Structure 1
Amino acid sequence: MDPVLVFALIGLLGIGSQWLAWRFQLPAIVLMLAAGLIAGPALGILDPKATFGDLFKPIVAVAVAVILFEGGLTLNFRSLRDAGPAVMRLVVVGAPLGWIASTLAVHFGAGLSWETSLVFGGIMIVTGPTVIAPLLRQARLAARPASILKWESIVNDPIGALAAVLAYELIVALNTTTTFAQAAWHFGSGLAVASVLGYVGGAAIAWAFARGKVPEYMKVPVLFGSVLLIYAASDYVLHESGLLAVTVMGIYLANAHLPSLTEIRRFKEHATVILVSGVFVLLAASLTMADFANLSWRTVFFVLSVVLLARPLTVFIALIGTGLPFREKLMVAWIGPRGIVLVAVSGLFGTQLAELGIEDGQGLTAISFALVAGTVILHGFSMAPLAKLLGLTSANTPGLLIVGGSRWATNLAAVLEKAEVPVLIADRNWFRLRTARSSGIDVFHGEILSEVAEHTLDLNKFGLILAATDNDAYNALIGTDLGPEFGRNQVFQVGRHDEMEGKTALPVTLGGRPFGPGTSYSDLSEAVTQGASFRLTRLTEAYDLSDYRAQHPDAIIFGHLGDGGLTLLGDAVPDTLPEGTRLLVLSHKSDRGEGAAESVA
């Protein structure tokens, strides 16, 4: 098959699987695995090794280098200090213990050599941040165990990759030299070359970006090119040291406190999604029937030993003395799905181990797929029931996070809270929160976009965001920043004052969806001052949406509450809504209808 067509097909399968996973709320990794296996060994449509030949390994290596660099960008030491003692213990104590336990599980469970087990055990430290996040959203896990699992996966992502790289460098040193002294020299020089080049590359980028030596529109391309340059240069100076160099470079930049790092990281995340999807499908399609024939009962035993022994022992030992309740420790100990990074890195190292003469290294790709599929299925289907059984679930109804402590926002929050919808009002001004505090509504005093908010707030129970301050630019910033995390369809902002100002208005591509018909902050404040208030009105068989509209032509419909929870509306209101739905409207107290009105003054 034509290589260009193969690239297109791999992109279609990878990104298409990601989209289907989002559309139907399924684990993306399972769909990508199925797509690769069907297109590859099942139907024979894709045969990447035959198509790309000698380029197959470099393609995977460069993609893995970018993935590891992006992983290094997440390792902010200040964030690690703020993550809490439980996460610190899982990183400082749990990562080495997990490496040892996983190595033993691979060697005695799967029957692989010590060399292969040591490399694979290192990358098994990674618990799959791309898998954990959607599982936490679906299970609606309570704040503390959800935070522990999230931060463990984020911090251990580069640490696990780093462990695998170090293990591989050690094995290369031992297998390419004749004496221990030579091996030690080779290993030490590899660490030194990679560390120096990674440090120099990161320092050069930080210096150039901080001093304006690179224009904003070129920062991402320059960074991307620098990653490839450092990887290639390190590999040229000392073979196979490039992956370590780009990981060090990423870690340096993560702690350089660059103002533009957020935008850079977001682009790298997007690039990583594309690369990870492509590599995952590429590796899955490159499997053969012989690879599956090599899987046996020992593979099942290996997966079970990881899930039932290695992971629980690591977590329980690491969390000794943290004061966490047993049920929370049990939850963290059970949940440890492996993700795409494990497959990508092990697929590359498996090929390289085989080239060193360690034959069972070639089987790493198949066994890594088995581990990913096993853990994702086991943990994906059991997480929500176990959380419910242990009493560790967050609110059942996805809540609303309101940014801005105005009088009308407090009124809105009070109405929703009465309907048992979780609500939180956040504001940087303590004085503006006084009405919400006196009403008993949950508040957050501080910057909602800060790391403190990210670390301390239980954002899992909020499915909707409303940017409701009197500053259009700040509302747009909230919508733009939180849109990728919550989904742009779930982020709203009050109508902009500058929408009619032509060229001076903010671009429509920034910010969230309009709240209702785009009513501005000042219009909402004026309406509440004149006696209007938010209320919930229940629709019945005898009093439907058309009846309500006919009786209340001036009322503004902002959303509705039904079996699916709270739904906020933009400027388009459905023609009909089911019986029993409660309309969220802004109307005056004098407005009375036949529906059951529930309001809070």
Structure 2
Amino acid sequence: MLDVEILLISGSFLLIACVLMSKLTGRVGIPTLLVFIGVGMLAGSEGIGGILFDDHSLAQTIGIISLVLILFSGGLDTEWKRIKPYIPHGLSLATFGVLITCGLVGVFGKYALNFSWLEALLLGAIVSSTDAAAVFTVLRARGLSFTTGLREVLELESGSNDPMAVFLTLLFIQLLGAKDLSYPALFASFFLQMGIGFIVGAGVGRWLRVLLNKVRLEFEGLYPVLTISFALLTYAITQRLGGNGFLAVYIAALILGRSTFIHKKSLILFHDSIAWLMQILMFLALGLLVYPSDLVNVTSDGVILAIFMLLIARPVAVFVTMAPTSFNWREKMMISWMGLRGAVPIVLCTYALSAEASKSGLIFNIVFFVVLVSTLVQGFTLKPLASLLKVAVEVKKKIRFPFEYVSGSEMQDELKEIEIPRDSIVVGKAIAELNLPQKLLIVLLRRGEDVFAPRGSTVFQPLDSLLILAETVEYDFLINLVTQISQEESIALKATEPVHGEVEL
């Protein structure tokens, strides 16, 4: 039996290596998931670590728990107002897009890889889910963001397409193991699973918001324990009821995230950290599970499948499902190229391995190879392609103010940042001259490298950054005021995200 000390030393070194290497590789645009998987492979039985790990059930359990907490973090941190206009686009990609990808890969697997129809469709279901997290990591490292709408659609797709991929994977595993299943019953099962998942998720999200604001725990450190417990409980109960647990978790977090509750900012930060930890653990486990020597045997199949998905399956799925939308062909092409395959396809492979489905071992190696190839190719080409298609914009570095804030349960105020345009009518005027609402508080003002608390006599200058505490009405008033121009030229106002963290008032 492995000593506890050796286990802790090995695990700590692997985590530290993943964190430090992600910083190094992020500067050159390599997705972090490749780093995590690479560290796992190096630590595996055929790597320098020599760690033998072949427990598919344990890897599947790690993957499920990780995905639950990752989805909860993603939903919690999603801004409802920003994504609301793009819900139909994201959901169409998460459902019809997944179905089209699964079908096209199924045809490819049947005729190019000599799989049976069910085996080929199982392969298609497994690789049909995307992972936009890897894309955004690369974009942040390169200092890029997208024009309006693209990021929102991709966030929705990546957060909501896992349930569809899981359903299709389990469906084809069942079909491979049984010949007397009723197709109408399976069709009804899909809507039943999604319906139960949505209802449970919506209920938990609303009830958890009330609980967080009413429970008044004596120790603040217990609030993250409560939210983690509810995330795991939501998945487990939904699965037991015959629903889709992943969908329930994402819906619950999405509904909770759009509301105001105590310690919201600190909980978002906490769950973001947990999501990163879960990603590392999941990718390490999956990296340990694979044998690099087996990947050599599927190189040709993996390469042609990756090319097929990049150039045919994904673009067809995107252009068909996004045809009724107002996105132009450049934006659709960018969405197509951002369909990176990440952890979910590899985790879905463990379902097939645990069920001992036909050719599950071969499928696992092919999928693993496809994930490595597509992520590496797309990760390095995202920036030049985004520039070529003219859908990328430079990201302005966020301002960090020297304290944190969280509103109380009965307070509707938020802490936000506003930058004053060069030609705003408030430039050259003192705060006392503006007759601002009494409930609006300018907490801090940043001017260049200086940060200070403004007074009534403080005169605004161009590009001053204001940290304000206000409710929506007062915030909108200030937005309208500072965006008014002193001459005919129009200058855009930049209102950034609420500041993360907390401070007691």
TM-score where L is the length of structure 2: 0.70
- Contact conserved, 1:425 with 1:436, CA < 8 A, in 2? no
Whether 2:240 is the aligned partner of 1:245: answer no
Q: Which has the higher contact order (CA 8 A, sep 6+)?
A: 2
Aligned residues: 436
Which residue is equivalent to 1:157?
158
How far residue 302 of structure 1 moved from its aligned partner, in angstroms, is 0.2
Which residue is equivalent to 1:407?
427
Q: For 1:191-340, what aligned pairs fall within 5 Å after superposition?
A: 201-202=204-205, 204-212=207-215, 216-233=220-237, 237=240, 244-256=244-256, 257-260=258-261, 262-339=265-342
Distance 1:404 1:310 in 2: 43
Alignment root-mean-square deviation, CA: 4.3
Q: For 1:126-525, what aligned pairs fall within 5 Å after superposition?
A: 126-137=129-140, 143-144=146-147, 147-171=148-172, 173-174=174-175, 179-181=180-182, 184=185, 187=189, 201-202=204-205, 204-212=207-215, 216-233=220-237, 237=240, 244-256=244-256, 257-260=258-261, 262-339=265-342, 343=343, 345-394=344-393, 403-405=418-420, 407=427, 428=475, 429-430=478-479, 432-433=481-482, 438=487, 440=489, 442-444=491-493, 448-449=496-497, 478=499
Deviation track 1:483-513 (CA, whole Å, cap 9, x = no partner) reads: xxxxxxxxxxxxxxxxxxxxxxx69xx9xxx
Change (3 A) 1:154 1:36: same
Change (3 A) 1:64 1:328: closer
- Contact conserved, 2:109 with 2:123, CA < 8 A, in 1? yes
Deviation track 1:9-39 (CA, whole Å, cap 9, x = no partner) reads: 4323333333333466542223223222222
Distance 1:173 1:113 in 2: 15
How far residue 84 of structure 1 moved from its aligned partner, in angstroms, is 7.8
Distance 2:358 2:285 in 1: 21
Residue 357 of structure 1: SS of its match in structure 2? coil
Between 375-384 and 293-302, the greater mean CA deviation after superposition = 375-384
Change (3 A) 1:210 1:8: same
Deviation track 1:302-321 (CA, whole Å, cap 9, x = no partner) reads: 00000010122222223335
Distance 1:423 1:121 in 2: 51
Q: Which letter maps to 1:349?
A: L
Distance 1:197 1:177 in 2: 30
- Contact conserved, 2:134 with 2:340, CA < 8 A, in 1? yes
Q: Which letter maps to 1:315?
A: V
Distance 1:387 1:172 in 2: 38
How far residue 130 of structure 1 moved from its aligned partner, in angstroms, is 1.6
How far residue 129 of structure 1 moved from its aligned partner, in angstroms, is 2.2
Structure number with bigger Rg: 1
Residue 394 of structure 1: SS of its match in structure 2? strand
Distance 1:399 1:11 in 2: 28
- Contact conserved, 2:91 with 2:160, CA < 8 A, in 1? no
- Contact conserved, 1:119 with 1:165, CA < 8 A, in 2? no
Change (3 A) 1:120 1:65: farther
Change (3 A) 1:378 1:258: same
Distance 2:485 2:136 in 1: 31
Residue 180 of structure 1: SS of its match in structure 2? coil
Which residue is equivalent to 1:566?
none
Distance 1:355 1:91 in 2: 26
Which residue is equivalent to 2:49?
45
- Contact conserved, 1:46 with 1:285, CA < 8 A, in 2? no
How far residue 108 of structure 1 moved from its aligned partner, in angstroms, is 4.7
Which residue is equivalent to 1:81?
84
Change (3 A) 1:184 1:309: same
Distance 1:129 1:200 in 2: 27
Change (3 A) 1:287 1:152: same
Distance 2:178 2:464 in 1: 62
Residue 493 of structure 2: SS of its match in structure 1? strand
Q: Percent of counterpart pairs with the same letter?
A: 18
How far residue 278 of structure 1 moved from its aligned partner, in angstroms, is 1.5
Q: Which letter maps to 1:336?
A: G
Between 317-326 and 176-185, the greater mean CA deviation after superposition = 176-185
Task: List alignment gaps of at least 5 residues for structure 2.
Answer: 400-416, 421-425, 429-444, 449-461, 469-474
- Contact conserved, 1:124 with 1:160, CA < 8 A, in 2? no
How far residue 179 of structure 1 moved from its aligned partner, in angstroms, is 3.5
Which residue is equivalent to 1:584?
none
Distance 2:207 2:357 in 1: 38
2:68 is aligned, of 65, 69, 94, to 65
Distance 1:245 1:212 in 2: 26
Which residue is equivalent to 1:12?
16
Residue 290 of structure 2: SS of its match in structure 1? coil
Change (3 A) 1:285 1:205: same
- Contact conserved, 2:40 with 2:287, CA < 8 A, in 1? yes
Q: Which letter maps to 1:252?
A: A
How far residue 350 of structure 1 moved from its aligned partner, in angstroms, is 1.9
Distance 1:202 1:110 in 2: 44
Distance 2:64 2:361 in 1: 15
Residue 319 of structure 2: SS of its match in structure 1? helix
- Contact conserved, 2:26 with 2:141, CA < 8 A, in 1? no
Q: Which letter maps to 1:337?
A: L
Residue 407 of structure 1: SS of its match in structure 2? coil
- Contact conserved, 2:132 with 2:338, CA < 8 A, in 1? no
Distance 2:500 2:215 in 1: 27
Distance 2:217 2:118 in 1: 44
Change (3 A) 1:293 1:19: same
Which residue is equivalent to 1:517?
none
Q: Which letter maps to 1:438?
A: Q
- Contact conserved, 1:132 with 1:149, CA < 8 A, in 2? no
How far residue 295 of structure 1 moved from its aligned partner, in angstroms, is 1.0
How far residue 274 of structure 1 moved from its aligned partner, in angstroms, is 0.6
Change (3 A) 1:84 1:206: closer
How far residue 154 of structure 1 moved from its aligned partner, in angstroms, is 1.1
How far residue 296 of structure 1 moved from its aligned partner, in angstroms, is 3.2
- Contact conserved, 1:62 with 1:228, CA < 8 A, in 2? yes
Q: Which letter maps to 2:17?
A: L
TM-score where L is the length of structure 1: 0.60
